[in-house]
Amino acid sequence: MKKFLIYNILFLCFAVNLFGQSSDSMKQILLKDIQIIENRSTFYNGDKSVIKLDSQIIVANKTADLGELLLATTPLFINAISGSGALETVSLRGTSANHTSVNWNGFPINSVTAGSADLSLIPVAVLSNVNIVKGASGSLYGSGTFGGSIDLETNQSASLPNNFSDATFSFETGSFGSRKTNFSTDAKLNRFSFDVNIFDNKSTNNFKYQDYEKFGNPVVEQSHNKTASQGLFFDGNVNLNASQFIFGIWYQNKDKEIPPMMGSYNAGSENENDNTFKIFAEFKRRFGNNSLDWKTALMLDKEHYTDLNLQTDEFDIDSQIKSKLFYNDLDFRWNCSNNFSMDFAAIYSRIEGDVTAYQNIPVEQNLALLTAAQYQIKQITFDASVRKEFDANAKVHPLISLGADYKTKSKWLTLKSNVSNKFRRPTFNDKYWTPGGNLDILPETGWSADFTAENVVKKNKLGEKICWSEISVYTSKINNWIQWIPQPDGNWSPVNYKSVWSRGVESAVHAKIHFNKFSANFNANYSYTATTTYNTEMSTNNQLAYLPKHNATVWLNLCYRSFNVSYSYTYIGTRNSLESGDGTQLPSFSLSNVQISQNFTFRKFNLTLNVKINNLFDQQYLMSATYPMPGRTIFFSTAITIKNK
Amino acid sequence: MKNFFNFLLLCVVTIFISCEKTDLTNQSVSSGYSHGIYVVNEGNYGQNNASVTYINTDSNIVINDVFQKANNRSLGDVAMCLGFAGGKGFIVVNNSYKIECVDLKTFKTVQVITGFTYPRYFLKINDNTAYVTDGNFAGKVYVIDVNMMKKTDSIPVGYGPENMVLVNNNVFVANSGGWGIDSTLSVINPATNKVFTTVKVDAFPTDLVVDANNNVWALCQNYLVCVNGSNFTVLKKIPLLHSSEYYNPHRMAIDQSKTTIYIAEDDGVKAISITALSVPTIPLIARKFYGLDVNPSNGQIFGCNAENYSQKGFVIRYKNTGEIIDSIQVGMIPGSVFFN
């Protein structure tokens, strides 16, 4: 531990002198004869700290899910239970899973009934870009973006060269009955391009662990822990002269068994089926210097939970949660001059929840009007945005974000700062769950401020950063934090229970080296998070439940010709299962994963052989207080690609 | 001499009061844990943090987490009950689906009884046999051989069987409905391990006590129901004051003389004479408790305060007049107190 602290102090000192991230990204990407119009949120995020995951990291983790990827390569804390495919939620900057907005091609995919997003449902294989916007503003992203936002893009074909197509079949097998099969193809022909990804994943997850909660501490096999998911992602693009039409489909079905807790003598009887169908369309058009962006989506989600009575063979619980989200976003960008742009947007959403535990089928419609502006003067760029939510159920004050970024003339140093206020609408469960739902619950409100310094040590000939570092400090407050607590009638009910002040430091170092046929890619992150809770009963500096004060990751990739070795290290500090500090103290742990791959190319064919070992040193560790995590796991995979160009 | 005894008494009282919010974890108990007061702390659902707090009234020692300390592991998830038989303690741990059988001298586990679906309460029948209720829908009472520490038989009863009492050599079982609906008491003959009659009381009976007349009182959702312990007829129903669709008082105890019943209602602890026809509007103790028990040797009332359910709770001790004696910090969500 002492060594670790020394390392972190050195790391922070180092990070102060170095720095980096893409505030100098091009605002409009020129693709042959059309100009792609940058998304509103990306356009106005120059004043914030953004982790853009390296494409090499995404490729190296293609068989993982999003939670596994973020845990291994970013300072985000991922809470998970019991192995591959089980529920994974994210915590960013001292907030809960409900306070991070997860967006798919610009559309929010957090559950409208529960508020959080299950990252285990998102396979990395379908992702083309992953951006983590730390401290993302409520004015740009809307409800539920206290900690930040995870922006996912699946549209991989838009950047393909013309008359290009390829198809890849991959298969992975490994420990504990893990089988992952994937077929993907993409193509671009003149103005039309598309990509398709079909996958079938399953795992029995029957790993062995020492159950130190049981009499005699026996080594037992995890039971009732199977997962199986199948899905399809499709994205299409039609590029016309001044217009672009994008559309996409996400269908997925997932069955998972919920394992018994450690120490339990129940064989496991709970099952869950998650089914999602999402479809979106987006139309972008340029009018001279100005542009219009209209996007719409329909998202249908279903969750079916059952608990089987093993003696009567009947369900003790048989519960369904169905939701519909219809989302519309119309945005007009006025590029008044080379250094001044404004966006005017209207966002409308309709949410419907059909849940066994609700007494009726609630429907909510929300309208938001938004305006944002960006003004550049010399080396300083100012970003501002204002959003007004017209919510029939609650009064929401206008959401405002103000920020700026400053670059030195040689762009070796960038300073960014942002201050914004936030809100989170109560979920359907908070309001309508029977018993306990509270129709009078208020939205959570709050604010955050951060400062980021980024230092680029070296760029390559294309102007891409190859050695840079970054340090951020932030402070944020959430008021009216919604928490379910017991009521005098004996039921649990959500109340606006407390305020939470979070603050912390984040640092990162990145370096890429190319030397003849050898290349190395290094990526390290560290974050420190502290929280203070205030409510009528207490004011405490205890850390929020399950939130580590310290966590760090290191990722190293070495490549010689077509031979590739990756190593990732994750450190998660101690956590307490209860905010009061009276819960189970979960010890810190560190995980090492290693991956070796070799590519073989023969004309149009490409063959990749890959070996991956997770939890290399076979650590027994806990993410949640009562569910074990798997020890060392080994996976072998192969992928065959045929390219035609 | 009288002054000396008064001084001694004052010292004892002072020492006991000093137990407030203390956790004398490093003190050992030379006589083991065979006799004393035991607080069963349910713990948070899904957290495996149930525990037992031991209070030795002879030496005025409070030891939290005795199970964890003796066994170097947690007790499990949602501990409901601690019963005593054959020199052993039987701790029913609901969401771990087990009974931990502990040697009362050391509190170390000697056996674990498994094979339950929803174990709830334990009742000693005699030196060789005990009963355990089990099931959230169609329920069972398991017969336990306390010497072999294993199940030997099962008796089908109503839905969601909860507490039991032994009266006139018959066992009454409160069929609470569990996750379904029920309104009956099953009556078992321990000699045959068979239900020989069922008494309809009122909706959702959860807790039972036996009064000085050997009548059985059942705490239901809306009524306190008195049943003749010999001929199984309903003698009277006393309407409760604080109940609703989703709430009913579920804890009840009876005083040392077995003539006054205490129920933990929303506005406090109500004291009801067994001859009364209504529940008093003014509580004896104006405080809401999660659990409620009475020390059968001296009539002291123990109220279990679960605080905000996310930090350690307290057990508050009262005289039978409602006057507070002291409070002791215990574990997470104290639910019941047992005396041996």
CB-based contact B76 A213, cutoff 8 Å: yes
Nearest CA in chain B to A584: B49
What is the Cβ-side half-sphere exposure of residue B32, based on CA atoms within 13 angstroms? Answer: 13
CB-based contact B74 A584, cutoff 8 Å: yes
pLDDT, residue A129, reads 92
pLDDT, residue B133, reads 97
- For every residue of B48-116, DSSP letters joined together read T--EEEEEETTTTEEES-HHHHHHSS---S-EEEEEEETTEEEEEEGGGTEEEEEETTT--EEEEE---
The pLDDT tens digits for A394-447 are 777 899 999 999 999 888 999 999 999 998 989 999 999 988 899 989 999 999
pLDDT, residue B247, reads 56
Q: Environment class of residue A373 by beta-carbon count within 10 Å: exposed (0-12), middle (13-18) or buried (19+)?
A: middle
| Residue A616 neighbours by CB distance under 10 Å | 16
CB-based contact A489 B266, cutoff 8 Å: yes
pLDDT exceeds cutoff 50 at B7: no
Spatial distance between the Cα atoms of A279 and A232, rounded to a whole number of angstroms: 12
Nearest CA in chain B to A576: B47
Q: Environment class of residue A600 by beta-carbon count within 10 Å: exposed (0-12), middle (13-18) or buried (19+)?
A: exposed
Q: Environment class of residue A308 by beta-carbon count within 10 Å: exposed (0-12), middle (13-18) or buried (19+)?
A: middle
Segment A600-610 shows an average pLDDT of 94
Tokens (6 digits) for A444 = 């959570």
CB-based contact B49 A266, cutoff 8 Å: no
Banded model confidence at residue A373, pLDDT cuts 50, 70, 90: very high
Q: Is A2-644 a CATH 1.10.1040.10 domain? A: no
Spatial distance between the Cα atoms of B294 and A623, rounded to a whole number of angstroms: 41
Is A309 near chain B, with CB under 8 Å?
A: yes
Of B77, B245, B309, the CB nearest to A263: B77
CB-based contact A490 B73, cutoff 8 Å: no
Of A212, A435, A579, the CB nearest to B246: A435
Q: Whole-prediction pTM value?
A: 0.87
Q: Which residues contact B121 (CB under 8 A, 6 or more apart)?
A: B80, B81, B92, B132, B133, B162, B163, B164
Rounded (10°) CA dihedral B184, B189, B190, B195: -50
Q: Which residues contact B80 (CB under 8 A, 6 or more apart)?
A: B40, B42, B92, B93, B94, B119, B120, B121, B335, B336
Assembly ipTM: 0.86
B65: left (phi over 0), alpha (psi -120 to 50) or beta: left
Whether A140 contacts A148, CB under 8 Å = no
Residues of chain A with Cβ-Cβ distance to B111 below 8 Å are: 215
Spatial distance between the Cα atoms of B51 and B93, rounded to a whole number of angstroms: 10
- Enumerate the domain spans of chain A: 2-644
What is the Cβ-side half-sphere exposure of residue A361, based on CA atoms within 13 angstroms? Answer: 10
Tokens (6 digits) for B48 = 């495996």
The pLDDT tens digits for A127-172 are 999 999 998 888 999 888 899 999 999 977 878 888 899 999 999 9
Determine if the peptide bond prior to B280 is cis (ω within 30°).
no
B81 has which bridge partners?
Answer: B92
- Residue B111's alpha-carbon distances to A417, B51, B116, B146, in angstroms, are 62, 17, 15, 11
pLDDT exceeds cutoff 70 at A15: no
Mean pLDDT, rounded, of chain A: 88
Nearest to A548 by CA among A638, A623, A467: A623
Q: Which residues contact B165 (CB under 8 A, 6 or more apart)?
A: B123, B171, B172, B208, B209, B210, B216
Query: B48 to chain A, minimum CA–CA distance in Å?
Result: 7
The pLDDT tens digits for B231-281 are 999 999 999 987 655 556 678 999 999 999 999 888 899 999 999 999 999
Whether A609 contacts A173, CB under 8 Å = no
CB-based contact A485 B311, cutoff 8 Å: no
SS3 content of chain A, % helix, strand, coil (to 5): 10, 60, 35
pLDDT, residue A556, reads 95
Question: Which residue would you say has higher pLDDT here, B216 or A546?
Answer: B216
A571 has which bridge partners?
Answer: A552, A590
What is the Cβ-side half-sphere exposure of residue B337, based on CA atoms within 13 angstroms? Answer: 27
Nearest to B53 by CA among B323, B329, B302, B340: B329
pLDDT, residue A483, reads 85
Spatial distance between the Cα atoms of B53 and B31, rounded to a whole number of angstroms: 16
Residues of chain A with Cβ-Cβ distance to B114 below 8 Å are: 265
Of B98, B245, B250, the CB nearest to A265: B98
Tokens (6 digits) for A101 = 């907005």
pLDDT, residue B251, reads 85
Banded model confidence at residue A484, pLDDT cuts 50, 70, 90: confident
Angle of CA points B44, B45, B49, to nearest 5°: 45
Number of Cβ pairs closer than 8 Å across A and B?
A: 109
pLDDT, residue A73, reads 87
Strand runs labelled E in A460-584: 465-486, 492-515, 518-534, 539-540, 550-560, 563-572, 575-576
Backbone angles phi, psi at A576, to 5 degrees: -120, 140
Torsion B96-B98-B104-B110 (CA) sign: negative
The pLDDT tens digits for A26-60 are 344 444 444 567 889 889 988 899 999 988 889 88
- For every residue of A197-218, DSSP letters joined together read EEEEEEE----EEE-TTSTT--
Whether A72 contacts A58, CB under 8 Å = no
pLDDT, residue A488, reads 61
| Strand-pair category, A164-174 with A148-153 | unpaired
Burial B99-138 (b: 16+ CB within 10 A, else e): bbbbbbeebebeebbbebbbbbbbbbbeeebbbbbbbbbb
The pLDDT tens digits for A68-98 are 999 888 888 888 876 667 788 998 998 988 8
The pLDDT tens digits for A288-328 are 889 999 999 999 999 999 998 877 788 888 999 999 999 99
pLDDT, residue A289, reads 86
The pLDDT tens digits for A488-523 are 666 778 888 889 999 999 999 999 998 889 999 999
CA A405 to chain centre: 25
pLDDT exceeds cutoff 50 at A4: no
Spatial distance between the Cα atoms of A117 and A427, rounded to a whole number of angstroms: 13
Mean pLDDT, rounded, of chain B: 88
Q: Which amino acid is at A489?
A: D
Angle of CA points A457, A463, A469, to nearest 5°: 30
Banded model confidence at residue A465, pLDDT cuts 50, 70, 90: confident
Segment B16-40 shows an average pLDDT of 62
Is A582 near chain B, with CB under 8 Å?
A: yes
